[in-house]
Chain A
Amino acid sequence: MANNKPLKKVDLIFSEAFLNRDELKEVLSRSADEVIQELLDSGLRGRGGAGFPTGLKWKFTRDQKDPEKYVVCNADEGEPGTFKDREILDRVGRKVFNGMALCAGTIGAKEGYMYLRGEYRFLLPKLYQILDEFHEDMKALGIDFHIDIKLGSGAYVCGEESALFESMEGDRGEPRNKPPYPTEYGFRGKPTVINNVETFVSALIISRIGAAEYQKLGTVDSRGSKLFSVSGDTPIPGIYELELGMTVEQFVNEFGDGDTKAVQVGGAAGFCVPRKKFNDTIIGFEGVPTGGSMMLFNSSRSMYNVLHNYLDFFKEESCGQCTPCRVGCQQLFLGIEAVKRGEKPASYLDTLLKLSQTMKITAKCGLGQSVGNSFHSIVNNFREEMIY
């Protein structure tokens, strides 16, 4: 599947379009059925990383009979290596609120919340100013929908939707048991749509340009374009909106420094793709999914150090609630140290690989379930670096 075409850069998310009140009026005049159908047709999947079909999420929530519903924007951008939501909020915050209003109108919610990463506190004055204008416009349009912003306090796990609700409700940010899912039992136990910042913007764009137009971008499994936060060993780090469906090879050709050894797709919770697999790995839901984090490593980097760093992060950021994640992360972290120091035989890595598999299928939430992704892909592809 040799594909060395240059990447297609797109300018939808940050474009100046769809920012004003008239656009909002236009968007909000659509019926809920239309909006949902358009989203389903577009094939839009959540941009936070998990990739749940957005149209379905909105539909499930709309179908709930409870009159009290919520729209929540997950702006707790915490995945190592991702910084695109910050940029969206900084440059086109109004689009996010418009997208939330679209969602509220569709599902029948009167209150919306943005859960903003604590470290993004500096964005607050700007966001409040935009919100004031937004609320005035909503009032002028005669629409009863209000958005408030809640700040996180720095816990990675609070980006997990149910932990985020717990945190917003004033409790300790610990993930809940699922089912029930947020579409049924979300914020304050009410049906809730919770989407990533970028997803709301994409939903807004789709309802303006139409599913047919949006579908022209991407592949069957990964429609449209999305933002990528590019960092690491690259001469041009930054945020890029790219059409989905490229191979890692294409990506590296564009962003690499000519000596790329591996790309970590999807952050610490994502997958590490080694050079030998660049050509046949697609970035998207058919290959390696990502919420936007793309970290490039060149041959000067020790993949042991990379993994060690991720595990250090996970063992600290696990909420500590469930056994596989709390203890598993510590075991993986100390385990690779023990192998490196020769205190455990190299075969202990296989024990740890099995453990990471157990974590994947038994942890309570996405955090613990995804630790195995980077562990597996790094240990399997760079085993000798783990040992020597």
Chain B
Amino acid sequence: MENMVKLKIDGVEVQVEKGKTILDAARSMNIHIPTLCHHEDLCVAGNCRVCVVEQVGTRNLVASCATPAADGMEIRTNSLKVRNARKHIIELLLSEHNADCTKCYKNGNCELQALASELKNTEHMFLDLVERKTFTVDMYSPSIIKDDSRCIRCQRCVRTCEELQHVSALGVAHKGDRMKISTFFDRPMFEVVCTNCGQCVNRCPTGALIERNYIDEVWDAIYNEDKFVVVQTAPATRVALGEALDLPPGEIVTGKMVAALRRLGFNAVLDTDWSADLTIMEEGTELLTRLKKALVDKDPNVALPMTTSCSPGWIKFIEHTFPEMLPNVSTCKSPQQMFGAVAKTYYANKVGVDPAKMVVVSIMPCTAKKFEADRPEMRSSGYKDVDLVLTTRELGIMIRQAGLDFNSLPDEDYDSVLGQSSGAAVIFGATGGVMEAALRTAYEIVTGREVPFEGLNITPVRGMEGVREASMEIKDTLPEWKFLEGVELRTVVAHGLTNAKQVMQWVKEGKKSYHFIEIMACPGGCLGGGGQPIPTNAEIRAKRAEAIYREDAGKAIRKSHENPEIIAIYKEFLGEPLSHKSHELLHTHYVERNRY
């Protein structure tokens, strides 16, 4: 019991581990203390002061989120002193906050609003500071809108950007009444190192950081008689959309999501999982080709290790941070962009639609995908390959707007073609999933046998640890892959850009050597993406991951190269992976970006 401390909260004794805070202790006994700047994923800030409690015998109140529980403490969470102070603090926050709730994108999903509605103050206690100041609203980014008038300066975004992502696009500028959350020289987010990952959006308690939404544009397209509107859904959306529609985390809602999209009026409901399978064919082949060039042809120009390229947050990060390592990034477009390029060529031809009249909408767990779709490289079909990108949250809003009772919708199947997928594609949504999917296919190409893991589950690359290394010896290869005989394939998986930076630093300094690196910008991979339902925390992400692997296990086809629609497109259209046509449509290049 040496590691335990005993204290009393609201008259009840409680024991917690040493190092836990008063807030932890209170939560362990289901005592609710309101918080704002506190977030489970981030370091303690203790700056909003909403969580102050009374420590008997101390003159000042203490911030429960920042104060370690100690032996003999007597805490009151609901005394008059606490109530009055809390009321003042919330009133102060409201006085500085543009509380025009009905015009706020976060209306109904705002932590400050929730506190205010708990307080039930019908009159403002203090002067309105908002009308006395000028605020900027940064709308330049295709992904994220930053509205300073709604900011309560809790610095969750700053901590997210620094701790989880090592990007620090957002920081604190000025002091006192002018203190604000800002970027490098207050430039628009679009012009700085921001990767558009949206992790700040996921953690902003108010409407200060939100995704740029394209809901009305999508409705306009749907109701435009001239347009053929195709929708694709990313792997991670199907295990999280439910949360935006009052279901608990970890529910698989694939069938209902398809049904909902059809009822919203999309002309074809297709799947990014399909193009995830296509990505594996291209990226797996690219890896093997690079290995061959390095090992057989002894080509000194071949860049190894090769990193994945599905995560647009990661791409922008490496463009800013390690531009000298861009040759190491797979040239494969992300599944979203492969889908768009194929949809407006192969698919348009197949269904007999003029690609000029086709609108490709994607539903993504991601805010960076909005930026990615806008990149000038992403027009290889002759048109903008993906026209509009919605987050999982935006789809949730559309479903509500349409008045659909999501929970009572039937399970429906995707349309064909570009609708069928394997389990390997589904797991793209979880960290380690691309690695696992690539190994399932690449190993089989090289050896003619399935990967030697029970149920095809390559467990060493799964999990939530920030950096996970795994290696696999290649034995008994097919004759044409003889050069890989006995090679120990070294891989590493990293998620969250802080971890990604660490791995790339190791590679750059020659401290570690790998063949293949999977990187996802967001914690947990796409399932923890910046476009996923709010809130997020480790527990919620674990539930989504568990659902993803459940979905994989339940699929009839588990390997990308066995997807019949993939086999068909190579036969009918692309020829083979890395063919001329593939290069034209499915591969891309990257640009070096500034360092601020």
Interface residues of A (CB under 8 A from B): 155, 157, 172, 174, 177, 179, 314-324, 326-331, 334-335, 338, 351, 354-355, 358, 360-364, 369
Contacts and interface: CB of A to CB of B under 8 A. Distances in A.
Nearest to A363: B49
B127 A316 contact: no
A319 B93 contact: no
Contacts of B46: 177, 322, 364
A334 B176 contact: no
Interface residues of B, number: 39
B127 A338 contact: yes
A314 B175 CA distance: 10
Contacts of A355: 88, 92, 126
Given A331-B129, A361-B52, 6 more contacts: A177-B63, A322-B48, A323-B89, A361-B61, A362-B60, A369-B60
A358 B85 contact: yes
**Among the interface residues A322, A324, A362, A363, which one has the most CB atoms of the partner chain B within 10 A?**
A362
Contact of B179 (A177, A326, A328, A334): A326
**Among the interface residues B47, B125, B179, which one has the most CB atoms of the partner chain A within 10 A?**
B47
B172 interface: yes
Interface in B159-205: 171-172, 174-179
Contacts of B81: 361
Nearest to B44: A177
B587 interface: no
Contacts of B85: 358, 361-362
B96 interface: yes
A331 B176 CA distance: 12
A40 to B, nearest CB: 24
B177 A315 contact: yes
A334 B177 CA distance: 12
Contacts of B129: 327, 330-331, 334
Contact of A319 (B89, B95, B96, B175): B175
Contact of B89 (A174, A318, A362): A362
Given A327-B129, A361-B61, A316 B177 contact: yes
Contacts of A157: 175
Contact of B49 (A314, A323, A331): A323
Contacts of A324: 49, 88-89, 92
B49 A316 contact: no
Contacts of A174: 172
B350 interface: no
Interface of B: 44, 46-50, 52, 59-61, 63, 66-68, 81, 84-85, 88-89, 92-93, 95-96, 125-127, 129, 132, 152-153, 155, 171-172, 174-179
Contacts of B153: 320-321, 323, 326
Nearest to A360: B60
A163 to B, nearest CB: 11
A34 B142 CA distance: 67
Contacts of B176: 314-320, 326, 329
A364 B47 contact: yes
13 contacts: A177-B63, A319-B175, A320-B178, A321-B172, A323-B49, A323-B50, A323-B93, A324-B49, A324-B88, A354-B84, A361-B52, A361-B81, A362-B60
A145 B96 CA distance: 49
A319 B177 CA distance: 9
Nearest to A368: B49
A363 B177 CA distance: 15
Contact of A334 (B61, B66, B132, B178): B132
Given A157-B175, A330-B177, A361 B59 contact: yes
Given A330-B177, A361-B60, A323 B127 contact: no
A358 B50 CA distance: 12
B126 A364 contact: no
A351 B125 contact: yes
A327 B63 contact: no
**Among the interface residues B68, B85, B88, which one has the most CB atoms of the partner chain A within 10 A?**
B88
**Among the interface residues B89, B132, B176, which one has the most CB atoms of the partner chain A within 10 A?**
B176
A174 B66 CA distance: 15
Nearest to A335: B127
